[in-house]
Amino acid sequence: MWNVQVIVHSGGSVVSEKSFGHVDGQEAKAFVIDGGEGLYIKVSDYGARLVEAHVPDAEGSTVDVVLGFDDAAQYAASPAYFGASVGRFANRIRRGQFRLNGVDYQVDCNEKANHLHGGREGWDSRLWSSEVHPDGKGVTFRTSSANGEMGFPGACEVTSSYRVEGRELRLTMEAVPDEDTIINMVHHSYFNLAGHGSGDVLNQHMRIPAEFYLPVDDELLATGEVRRVEGTPFDFRDARPIGERMADLPPTGTAIFEGGSGYDHNWCLSGVDRPGEPELIEALDVVEPVSGRRLRMWTTEPGLQMYTGGYLSAEIVGKGGMPYCRYAGFTLETQKFPDSPRFPHFPSPVVRAGERYRQVKVLGFSVI
């Protein structure tokens, strides 16, 4: 697998550790988590990110299904947020402005005139501390966020945890602020069930249990409207190829990017509860028809941002020297709704002092 040092071995599960290069003179680490049932992953303390996820097909052939790079320095140089734990506030805030408790706040604007994914020094761009789970099934990363960091009120203690349980990957992100603040974390992996670097994902079949989506303007900002998916290219209530109706999409992002296209929108989830875990609702079901790999996802969150990588290009060289073409992967960002501080009819991102923000996402891999 990798040249690593085994640090925990318990009941068939193994966690191993190795160097993952250096960022700003500090060594980054990577951890391999092998659950012993065909799924194994690699995570790093740089950005508390998922670096690799190896998934078998029906014949037992295993490929890495997440896009990424070979070391921490390459992640630090990229604006793509591959695999990262993103915060304090993921997605976009118009002009970086919001009001909380009668006070107006201005946060960092790092995508033209707007805030994106926590700002220039978001949680994705730092080294986190790490703790391997005693049972060998996971790793928890920790960081602290200071009051006023990127303009946000309140200090936060933050964790991002990865656990492999059979062929399921469970991600848990938590944060506790000491003042009232807004928090909206996302996990930002790009997935391609045929394998990273295998081409585009447009023929992979996706189902999203959502009756509504959020339209966006030419800056990819939510307009505040909540619109039905019926009769639109956003209707994935029945599984269909991701690219089947992309040509019918309205132009988006034209004020901030050139040459991009595809989906970069939030769906308002209405999936059924997961049996035995009523806090989780079904969010997604994707099948890669050639290999038969299937990914199902459940979440605690009300929204799903699915981005099809319309701004990726072959200039991005990923793991093993693989060029990543446009539409080389899709993100599955479970979240509060984008720009939710501005819209009182959206689920609130406000977390009160001493309360615990908690998001859980479960990725279940199988074959058809």
66-88 pLDDT, tens digit each: 999 999 999 999 999 999 999 99
Handedness of CA 178, 126, 257, 202 (dihedral sign): negative
Whether 249 contacts 229, CB under 8 Å: no
The full set of domain ranges for the chain reads 190-345+357-367
333 included as an active-site residue: yes
Within 8 A by CB and 6+ apart from 36, the residues are 12, 13, 14
Handedness of CA 98, 110, 311, 363 (dihedral sign): negative
Q: Which pLDDT score, from 0 to 100, does residue 83 have? A: 99
Question: Residue 254: which pLDDT band, with cuts at 50, 70 and 90?
Answer: confident
Which fold is adopted by the domain 190-345+357-367? Beta-galactosidase; Chain A, domain 5 (2.70.98)
Q: Which pLDDT score, from 0 to 100, does residue 14 have? A: 82
Cα separation, 102 vs 62, in Å, equals 53
Residue 2 has pLDDT above 50, yes or no: no
Weakest-pLDDT range from 10-24, 163-177, 200-214, 284-298: 10-24
Cα separation, 204 vs 239, in Å, equals 10
Q: Which pLDDT score, from 0 to 100, does residue 261 have? A: 82
Max Cα–Cα distance, the chain, nearest Å: 59
What integer is the mean pLDDT of 193-221?
Answer: 97
What's the pTM? 0.95
Decide: residue 270, CB within 10 A, 0-12 exposed, 13-18 middle, 19+ buried: middle
Q: Which pLDDT score, from 0 to 100, does residue 251 have? A: 80
Q: Which pLDDT score, from 0 to 100, does residue 10 have? A: 64
What integer is the mean pLDDT of 155-172?
Answer: 98
Q: Which pLDDT score, from 0 to 100, does residue 257 have? A: 74
Handedness of CA 280, 287, 186, 234 (dihedral sign): negative
What integer is the mean pLDDT of 266-274?
Answer: 97
What integer is the mean pLDDT of 305-325?
Answer: 95
Residue among 52, 219, 288, 333 flagged as catalytic:
333
Q: Which pLDDT score, from 0 to 100, does residue 259 have? A: 64
Q: Which comes out higher in pLDDT, residue 254 or 163? A: 163
CA distances from 196 to 52, 69, 146, 328 (A): 9, 11, 36, 7
Within 8 A by CB and 6+ apart from 212, the residues are 226, 227, 228, 229, 267, 268, 270
Take residue 298 and report the two structure tokens written for it. 């459940």
Mean pLDDT of the chain: 95
Residue 111 has pLDDT above 50, yes or no: yes
Residue 4 has pLDDT above 60, yes or no: no
Take residue 251 and report the two structure tokens written for it. 């132009």
What integer is the mean pLDDT of 141-149?
Answer: 99
Q: Which pLDDT score, from 0 to 100, does residue 355 have? A: 99
Residue 92 has pLDDT above 60, yes or no: yes
Cis-peptide into 237, omega within 30 deg: no
Cα separation, 61 vs 59, in Å, equals 6
Decide: residue 41, CB within 10 A, 0-12 exposed, 13-18 middle, 19+ buried: buried
What integer is the mean pLDDT of 115-144?
Answer: 98
Residue among 133, 188, 205, 265 flagged as catalytic:
188
Cα separation, 36 vs 339, in Å, equals 41
| Type of residue numbered 86 | V
Residue 327 has pLDDT above 80, yes or no: yes
Angle at 82 between CA 29 and CA 260, to 5 degrees: 160
Weakest-pLDDT range from 5-14, 92-101, 261-270, 338-347: 5-14
H-helix or E-strand containing 74? helix 72-77
Q: Which pLDDT score, from 0 to 100, does residue 157 have? A: 99
Q: Which pLDDT score, from 0 to 100, does residue 5 have? A: 67
Q: Which pLDDT score, from 0 to 100, does residue 1 have? A: 42
